[in-house]
Amino acid sequence: MKIKLGIIGYGGMGKWHAENAPRAGVEIAAVCDINQVRQQEAVDGGHKTYKSAEELLKDQNVNTVILTVPNHLHKEMCIKAARAGKNVITEKPAAMTVAELDEMEAACREAGVFFTAHQNRRWDRDMLTVKKAYDEGLLGSIFTIESKLHSGNGYMHEWHIYKKYGGGMIYDWGVHLIDQILFMMPGVKVKSIYADVQNVLHEEVDDYFKILMKMENGIAVHIELSTYILEYQPRWLVGGDKGTMIVKNFACDGNIYRTGKMLEKLPPQITETEAGPTRQFAPVPPGGIVTEPLPVIQTDWVDFYRNVDDVLNNRAETKIKIPEVRRVLSVMEAVRKSAETGEAILFE
Amino acid sequence: MKIKLGIIGYGGMGKWHAENAPRAGVEIAAVCDINQVRQQEAVDGGHKTYKSAEELLKDQNVNTVILTVPNHLHKEMCIKAARAGKNVITEKPAAMTVAELDEMEAACREAGVFFTAHQNRRWDRDMLTVKKAYDEGLLGSIFTIESKLHSGNGYMHEWHIYKKYGGGMIYDWGVHLIDQILFMMPGVKVKSIYADVQNVLHEEVDDYFKILMKMENGIAVHIELSTYILEYQPRWLVGGDKGTMIVKNFACDGNIYRTGKMLEKLPPQITETEAGPTRQFAPVPPGGIVTEPLPVIQTDWVDFYRNVDDVLNNRAETKIKIPEVRRVLSVMEAVRKSAETGEAILFE
């Protein structure tokens, strides 16, 4: 069985799937959008084009749909597609709430169709570089993992600035950043969540968040995003008792840092620095800290669609399971609750 | 009345006060240490030297003492000094607990002597640069202040590695970093505190902490220290809705960053980056972010002793008040409690 994909919503991400999914052998069978300009764009792109999801779902040539509509429509479209017998891939966040997701999953189970979410950032090279350090103990025992995303672009765009469409950065990127951490540490419980969420430039939706998650394995995870921190801090900082890893950006500039003269006790002299007496925070002697290159990771996002193809042909299990998607949404709900109350949420 | 200082404990900080306090006109009247090597060092330094605090406290020429003994001895020494009629300056942390501080303050009040703590890092130029941004609104409305101190030196030294002496980095530097924030924002309540505290390299004492404090004014304060993060992150990051301030280090390297073409809405195109499709986190166009130099601050630590001198001569009130010191210790206790329980502490 070949994936014959119907794209529901021909905005930015709809177009992106139309261009990129064929790399995995996916056939773009049809496209729909309620907006006339986008309908014309789809026609111009050579796609079979419908004016509504309802029409597209009647197309017997379509066996799978990708939902690239605003977030508040995922539930409705998923249930309609399932009832029309289509397998469903939804853009992230899969749903606005855990409760919505449960309804969607029930509809797909009832219809006997496959259901997954496009958590494409499990294939990001920067995250996989950190995951390798975690899996292989490259930094010894890790005490902190910081995942940060800063932008100087300020404002969000289109429907993302409105609450009723599921806008805001927790929905847009928080879902990725949380998913990456839970994916990195399979089977590790989240003990406690504390979050600060703010609207810095936007009236309705969040555009800054800092989330601390204490994990069962002792690691304190720090997830942070801002659309308006203008000197970007490293995408990842990982601290272990045998070194520090910095991954500066998506392109994976960065290094592993280790102590050269490994961890000798300091002489008892006080060093005068620019700001008064300190031994601990005096400069390390020359050569005291050495760098190594980051490990090089091969990754290909298109494996997402290859996996969907394998699942539909009974060759593999899905890499993005609905219980995982549900857990991420649960964390997101805890984040909002913590931000509102000032309390930590004891989680799992 | 001239300050005639008795130095109780002639270790690193005792020697430092002996060298530096005279800049404010302080007379080093006497020194004591129970360690023979240090006694000899004091004699060699030309100081009148005693073998115990008890002997020094009998010296009628001493009117004020500085306590530069390990933290667990501050309470005992303070009470003895007060009862001997000496004004008391204690090194930080003033006490191991709030309860200890209350005993110390009561003893000083009863004896009618002046009591303060050497929170010298209220005169640090890096902190005062950030305080200027806060006071004068240089960054618009501030949403985050991050105060971080990283070291590659790893191990602590001497008594700081033992719990019973009041070792660990919360006592050594946490007390400064918390005090700086509360000093920066006078009158602003701390609503909620959440902390991760770890022993990365040390068996008994903390050498890593990350503290989030949600302030009544909406600012989320982040305080962090590690003795083993090898690529140091900026000493300060301040994010406001009109710019970002980075102060890299004690020497105040850094900049203010602002958007050049101020905050235009983005075009609806998706930008392909190294890690998949994103508009929000695509690079800002050239010239989109501009830098300004940091404001230049004049500061002199020796004003600490000048203020003590003014207080003792009824010319000023003390710059470091015991209720402030007590509040910092309360935050430190909340930090430990949060770290132990995984819960946030609703504070003021």
Q: Model confidence over A110-159: pLDDT tens digits? A: 999 999 999 999 999 999 999 999 999 999 999 999 999 999 888 887 88
Q: Is the pLDDT of residue A269 over 70?
A: no
Segment B28-32 shows an average pLDDT of: 98
Q: Is B69 exposed, middle or buried (0-12, 13-18, 19+ CB in 10 A)?
A: buried
pLDDT in tens, B124-176: 999 999 999 999 999 999 999 999 999 988 888 788 889 999 999 999 999 99
Whether residue B158 and residue A275 make contact (CB cut-off 8 A), yes or no, is: no
Longest alpha-carbon distance in chain B: 80
Region A246-273: what's the mean pLDDT? 77
| Cβ count within 10 A of residue A337 | 14
- Count of CB atoms situated within 10 Å of the CB of A269: 11
The two structure tokens encoding residue A240: 């272990």
Which 3 state secondary structure label does DSSP give A176? helix
Q: Is the peptide bond before B295 cis (omega within 30 degrees of 0)?
A: no
Residue B329, H or E segment: helix B322-341
**Chain B residues with CB-CB distance to A194 below 8 A:** 194, 212, 344
B39's enclosing H/E stretch is helix B36-44
Across the interface, whether the CB atoms of B258 and A144 are under 8 A apart is answered no
Residue A213's H or E segment, with its range, is: strand A208-215
Confidence band for A286, pLDDT divided at 50, 70 and 90 = confident
How many Å apart are CA B333 and CA B348, to the nearest integer?
A: 13
* β-pair type (B236-240, B142-150): antiparallel
Residues in chain A with CB shorter than 8 Å from the CB of B194 are 194, 212, 344
pTM here is 0.94
Hey, are the CB atoms on A237 and B229 less than 8 Å from each other?
Answer: yes
pLDDT exceeds 80 at position A285: no
Give the ipTM.
Answer: 0.93
Residue B275: which of A125, A192, A234 has the nearest Cβ?
A125
**Residue of chain B whose Cα is closest to the Cα of A257:** B230
For residues A92 and A175, the answer to whether their CB atoms sit within 8 Å is yes
CB contact under 8 A, B212 and A208: no
**Rounded Cα–Cα distance for residues B331 and B170 (Å):** 11
Q: What's the pLDDT at B96?
A: 97
Q: Are A146 and A224 in contact (CB under 8 A)?
A: yes
d(CA A210, CA A44): 43
Distance (Å, rounded) from C-alpha A322 to C-alpha A335? Answer: 20
Percent of chain A surpassing pLDDT 90: 86
* Residue A270 reports pLDDT greater than 80: no
When scoring B281, B299, B340, B343 by the number of chain A Cβ atoms within 10 A, the one with the most, hence best to mutate, is B281
- Chain A nearest-CA distance from B100, in A, is 26
Distance CA A108, CA A112 (A): 6
β-strand B27-32 against B49-50: which pairing, if any?
parallel
Cα separation, B94 vs B117, whole angstroms: 6
Q: How far apart are CA B92 and CA B116, in angstroms?
A: 10
Supply the angle between the helices A125-136 and A175-184 in degrees, to the nearest 10. 30
Question: B272 by DSSP, 3-state: which?
Answer: strand
For the cut 70, the answer to whether the pLDDT of residue B263 exceeds it is no
- DSSP per-residue codes, B172-203: IIIHHHHHHHHHHSTTPPEEEEEEEEE-SS-S
> Which among B220, B229, B250 has the least Cβ separation from residue A273?
B250
Q: Using CA atoms, how far apart are residues A59 and A53, in angstroms rounded to an integer?
A: 10
Cis peptide bond N-terminal to B93, omega within 30: yes
Interchain pair A220, B237: CB under 8 A: no
Question: A342 and B274: CB-CB below 8 Å?
Answer: no
Does the distance separating the beta carbons of B279 and A153 come in below 8 Å?
yes
Summarised one tens digit per residue, pLDDT across range B230-259 is 999 999 999 999 999 999 999 999 999 998
Listed range (A161-170, A191-200, A216-225) with the worst mean pLDDT: A161-170
Give φ, ψ of B107 to 5 degrees.
-65, -40
Q: Which of A228, A300, A305, A335 should we substitute to test contact with B (largest number of B Cβ atoms within 10 Å)?
A: A228
Q: Identify which of B12, B173, B301 has the shortest CB distance to residue A270.
A: B12
User: Measured between alpha carbons, how far is A52 from B292 in angstroms, rounded to an integer?
Assistant: 51
User: What is the structure's pLDDT at B269?
Assistant: 55
Task: Select the more confidently predicted residue: A61 or A156.
Answer: A61
How long a stretch of residues is chain A? 348
Q: How far is B346 from chain A (nearest CA, A)?
A: 7
A230-B208-B72-A275 Cα dihedral, nearest 10 degrees:
-40
Q: Look at residue A276 in the predicted model and tell me its pLDDT.
A: 67
Contact A208 B156 (CB under 8 A): no
Burial of B46 (0-12, 13-18, 19+ CB in 10 A): exposed
Task: Give the per-residue pLDDT at B274.
Answer: 64
Identity of the residue numbered B34: I
The residue to which tokens 């204490």 are assigned? A214
pLDDT at A264 over 60: no
Nearest CA in chain A to B287: A152
Minimum mean pLDDT among A37-51, A212-226, B101-115, B275-289: which range? B275-289
Q: What is the pLDDT of residue A17?
A: 96
- Residue type at A71? N
> Are B245 and B138 a contacting pair, CB within 8 Å?
yes
Q: pLDDT at position B286, please?
A: 76
CB contact set of A291 (below 8 Å; sequence gap of 6+) = A255, A256, A257, A258
Q: What is the 3-state secondary structure (H, E, C) of A269-321?
A: CCEEECCEEECCCCCCCCCCEEEEECCCCCCCCCHHHHHHHHHHCCCCCCCCC
Q: Where are the alpha helices (DSSP H) in B74-173?
A: 74-83, 98-111, 125-136, 169
Neighboring chain B residues of A300 at a CB cutoff of 8 Å: none
CA torsion through residues B163, B164, B169, B174, sign: positive
Q: At residue B212, does pLDDT exceed 80?
A: yes
Beta carbons of B279 and A157 less than 8 Å apart: yes
**pLDDT score for A281:** 78
Query: Hey, are the CB atoms on A241 and B200 less than 8 Å from each other?
Result: yes
Q: How near does any CA of chain B get to the CA of A348, in Å? A: 12
Which residues in chain A are closer than 8 Å to B273, comparing Cβ atoms?
A: 250
Q: Could you identify the residue written with the tokens 């303050």?
A: B105
So what's the pLDDT on residue B170? 97
Check CB contact under 8 Å for B266 and A157. Answer: yes
DSSP label of B261:
S
Contact B276, B180 (CB under 8 A): no
- For chain A, state the CA radius of gyration: 23
* Per-residue tokens: B166: 């009041």
